Structure 1
Amino acid sequence: MRLFKPRSLLGRMLLLTLLAVLLAQGLSSIIWLSQLRATQLEGLVTSARSLAHSMAASVSYFRSLPLAYRPLVLDQLRSMGGTRFFVSLNDKPLGMQLLEPTARKTAVIDAVSAVLRTQLGSDVDISVTFVSPDDLRIFNSGLKLDELPRSWAHYALTLEPVNPPVLVTQIRLGPTEWLYIASLLPEPYTTLEEEGLPAQQIWFIALTSGFLLLFIGVLVHWQSRPLKRLARAARELSLGEVNNEPPMDGGGSEVVEVARALNAMRERISRYLTERSQLFSAISHDLRTPITRLRLRVELLDDPALEAKFGRDLDELELLVKGALQCVKDTDIHENIERVDLDQVLDCLVEPYLAPQGNGRVTLQGKARRPYAGKPLAIKRCIGNLIDNALKYGDRAHLSIHDDAQAFVLYVDDEGPGVPEQRLQKVFEPHFRLAGTQQGYGLGLGIARNIAHSHGGEVTLQNLPAGGLRVTLVLPRKTV
């Protein structure tokens, strides 16, 4: 089973905070509960010993009475009512269904037995057990508690609405005489069950966790807003929106330091783009003049063969210059980020190739869900290069769109021979062309990929199993 792993900073902080709170509160509650149970057990044993001393005093009193007076004293005690114990004389120990032993019950039985044997003698037959009130037997006849008059035993052995277990002690006084003593432990030790965490403690943990999560959530949300603005500024930087405005205006000192570094980087990139544009403009001007001058001189040559050789060299040199300038021109597109209707862009690009005038060389399936935030001309040039490349080397281009909340994906499939696997990345390099394909400058895929990269996207190639090449353009969605 996969663990739940939030992706956002807020979700991860809340999850870690919740785990830390639950772990800390759980450990502290376990320690507190163990100490509470130890304290309760100590108080329970103390109360049991006090109860055992009272039992021992009652047994000593009955021992001191003549045999004929013992039933009379018992009748007087039952008539008075309100005594701590229910006492009876039986000719044998009564058999009853005992309760399941627990740590607390065992501790009480051991404490009562130890006090009674110490007070009455170690050779006395003593039986100490816990019995449920529903299974309690009183006399030799096996009468239940509910069958007796309420004044006899109910006040001593019931504690409504609680139904606590009854401590039954049976002590041999003579060969055919057993003293029967039934009693309840005093409050708060009547139930003898080890309780879990109190409801108040659980509510305290829940409220503490809730308030802490709320505080952490507000804090992280407050601190993450500058990071989101910083990420948006970096994303706009990748799209070419270089300006001198600060990407954010708040946050901690670390975030402010990163923002300053990003501003400095934007300034350097702006200077670099300006200098590169000026450099290539100068190169264009400087190279075209000597190439033109050389062509004029070549035409003055008397040797036609030598003239043809020089002409080929100059054509190749001019092709290289034009290719380099076109690469810079196509990738360095200075546009503002706008809402681009991708459906309209695709319709404009594929319309010339649709049937009947285009013989159905291009097909299009799917629609874009909504506008895309990007550079209109750059995106049009990127997709146009992919379509031209498919038509140039694969005769036909089959376009399909998959658009969702994360990204706009365009698949361009052709019917050509494909590209060898070891050269799938090589074809993106400038001026690289496969054997037998000498048309163009070999820049189309590289330019398309550079434009996709400037939008945070990617262009990948894949040979289709049935033949042909699939070019996949992925443009991630951003806030429009």
Structure 2
Amino acid sequence: MRPRTEGRWRLPLPRSLLGRMLLLTLLVVLLAQGLSSVIWLSQLRASQMEGLVASARSLAHSMSASVSYFRSLPVAYRPMVLDQLRSMGGTRFVVSLNDKPLGMQVLPATPRKEAVIDAVADVLHQRLGAQLEISIQFVSPQDLRIFNSGLKLDELPRSWAHYALTLEPINPPVLVTQIRLAEGEWLYIASLLPEPYTSLEEQGLPSQQLWFIVLTSSFLLLFIGLLVHWQSRPLKRLALAAREMSLGADVEPVTEGGGSEVEEVGRAFNAMRERISRYLTERSQLFSAISHDLRTPITRLRLRVELLDDEQLQAKFGRDLDELEMLVKGALQCVKDTDIHENIERIDLNQVLECLVEPYLGSGQITLEGRAQAPYPGKPLALKRCIGNLIDNALKYGERAHLRILDSDIGFVLQVDDEGPGVPEQRQEQVFEPHFRLAGQQQGYGLGLGIARNIAHSHGGEVSLRNLREGGLRVTLSLPRSVD
């Protein structure tokens, strides 16, 4: 999870364009498929309800014909007709005559069961008379009773009832209709509803529909992923070229391809690359000219100062010339140290640190803790100069340097702790400025931290300062392993 923002947790989202596009597409597909499936399922259930009612009415018409037939028979003939029907087997109904309605455990009511019962009762009352005494209910096959004696379905011969009332392995509910024919005589009719309405349960989405949703979503995500990957390749090439250019490498113009927007970005990057390259070339030429032009007059002035008779005036001019020469050399060194033309390589930072600290290990001025886990892609000489400046700064103003490496997949971190007086918080940004020194510091040009930060910035990293509670200053070099 990401950090809490304004008291709320934010869900983690993909950071890449491909991941976000696929997530958005998946949400849209699931929403569209869900809505269409709900509409389709509601229409399917409505049509199934219409078919169920029509089937129940047809079944009720068949029942009414059987009831009319039994009514027309003399009372003495009715048991013989029932025996003949049972002997034949395979009839649609199971019919019996009982002296009272059979009591059975009724299944819980559902909208479909109530619709069937209402449809059957309506047809029977229309065909047989509104005053007809009828009992209609759904019973589980396990609780079904056939005769007054309470015999179960499994206790009867298979030819009598199993063919009409079982549908293994489903065993759907049985519709039991009991109609009063005369005083002390009830006609019992048990039957199953015809296919596909035997179970009477409202089914969810069919497996075919679910597979259709899964397959269409998968194909759509696959095609969207290929499309986004194809369109994002120019952006990845552009990001790689921008990183290499930030490290000072000689970058070839990127290929202008992809969509019109991506092509426009590539064209703008190439134009920017040409302007920056021209600016860097002009800057190098400018400082070379300044170096050449200033050294001659400074040397000439030194010769003239030597010819002065007044020693006090000669000393004043000498100090001014020394300061002027130090400023010129400092500016040229700053440009030289930060504008290092190197190719990007995979650097073993452990080896770099070992080379830098080896001369001081015997004296105990430097301690080193931790190791880099993987090579770092960067400019070898520039990073060596950056880390060397941080170590020299710690030894110069803090006498000792304690180095600690914290490496991970995210980035490389080097902490350099010294035992000096530290830097006041209000001055911690100023010490990165050229030629800035704290009170009592007169050594060097005041350029080491500034050069180190410029090199870190060119690699997408940072150099920061923090005073330690126990005394001393901690300088932290952070270098990311990838540029977002």
Q: TM-score, structure 2 length as denominator?
A: 0.92
1:203 equivalent in structure 2: 211
Q: How does 1:43-82 map to 2 (within 5 A)?
A: 43-82=51-90
Q: Which whole-Å CA distance do the structure 2 matches of 1:375 and 1:277 have between them?
A: 19
Superposed displacement of residue 240, structure 1 = 0.7
Structure 2 unaligned regions, length at least 5: 2-9
1:115 equivalent in structure 2: 123
1:397 equivalent in structure 2: 401
Superposed displacement of residue 326, structure 1 = 1.6
Conserved 8 A contact 2:138-2:174:
yes
2:270 equivalent in structure 1: 263
Q: Does 1:248 align with 2:280?
A: no
Superposed displacement of residue 415, structure 1 = 0.5
Conserved 8 A contact 1:373-1:478:
no
How big is the alpha-carbon RMSD for the aligned residues of Structure 1 and Structure 2? Answer: 2.1
Relative to structure 1, the CA distance from residue 407 to residue 178 in structure 2 (aligned partners, 3 Å threshold; closer, same or farther) is same
Relative to structure 1, the CA distance from residue 169 to residue 345 in structure 2 (aligned partners, 3 Å threshold; closer, same or farther) is same
Q: Does 1:281 align with 2:288?
A: yes
Select the residue among 413, 418, 431 that pairs with 2:417.
413
Superposed displacement of residue 181, structure 1 = 1.2
Superposed displacement of residue 108, structure 1 = 0.4
> Which stretch of the first structure deviates more once superposed, 91-100 or 404-413?
404-413
2:327 equivalent in structure 1: 320
> Which stretch of the first structure deviates more once superposed, 301-310 or 427-436?
301-310
Q: Does 1:311 align with 2:329?
A: no
Q: Does 1:157 align with 2:160?
A: no
Q: Does 1:337 align with 2:363?
A: no
Aligned length: 475
Q: Which whole-Å CA distance do the structure 2 matches of 1:372 and 1:157 have between them?
A: 78
Relative to structure 1, the CA distance from residue 445 to residue 163 in structure 2 (aligned partners, 3 Å threshold; closer, same or farther) is same
Conserved 8 A contact 2:406-2:413:
yes
Select the residue among 437, 455, 459 that pairs with 1:451.
455
Letter in 1 for 2:82: L
Superposed displacement of residue 386, structure 1 = 0.7
1:146 equivalent in structure 2: 154
Superposed displacement of residue 439, structure 1 = 1.7
Letter in 1 for 2:113: K
Letter in 1 for 2:385: R
Q: Which whole-Å CA distance do the structure 1 matches of 2:83 and 2:264 have between them?
A: 93
Superposed displacement of residue 250, structure 1 = 4.0
Q: Which whole-Å CA distance do the structure 1 matches of 2:346 and 2:163 have between them?
A: 86
Q: Which whole-Å CA distance do the structure 2 matches of 1:348 and 1:98 have between them?
A: 90
Superposed displacement of residue 4, structure 1 = 4.5
2:372 equivalent in structure 1: 368
Conserved 8 A contact 2:256-2:267:
no
2:103 equivalent in structure 1: 95
Conserved 8 A contact 2:399-2:420:
yes
Conserved 8 A contact 1:242-1:267:
no
Superposed displacement of residue 150, structure 1 = 2.5
Superposed displacement of residue 308, structure 1 = 3.5
Letter in 2 for 1:383: I
How big is each residue's C-alpha offset from its partner over 1:190-234, in whole Å with a ceiling of 9 and x where there is no partner?
111111111111222222222222222222222222222111111
Conserved 8 A contact 1:86-1:182:
yes
Q: How does 1:350-389 map to 2 (within 5 A)?
A: 350-355=357-362, 359-389=363-393
2:224 equivalent in structure 1: 216
Letter in 2 for 1:428: F
Q: Which whole-Å CA distance do the structure 2 matches of 1:326 and 1:476 have between them?
A: 27
1:423 equivalent in structure 2: 427
Q: How does 1:153-192 map to 2 (within 5 A)?
A: 153-192=161-200
Letter in 2 for 1:6: P
Q: Which whole-Å CA distance do the structure 2 matches of 1:394 and 1:413 have between them?
A: 9
Relative to structure 1, the CA distance from residue 289 to residue 24 in structure 2 (aligned partners, 3 Å threshold; closer, same or farther) is same
2:6 equivalent in structure 1: none
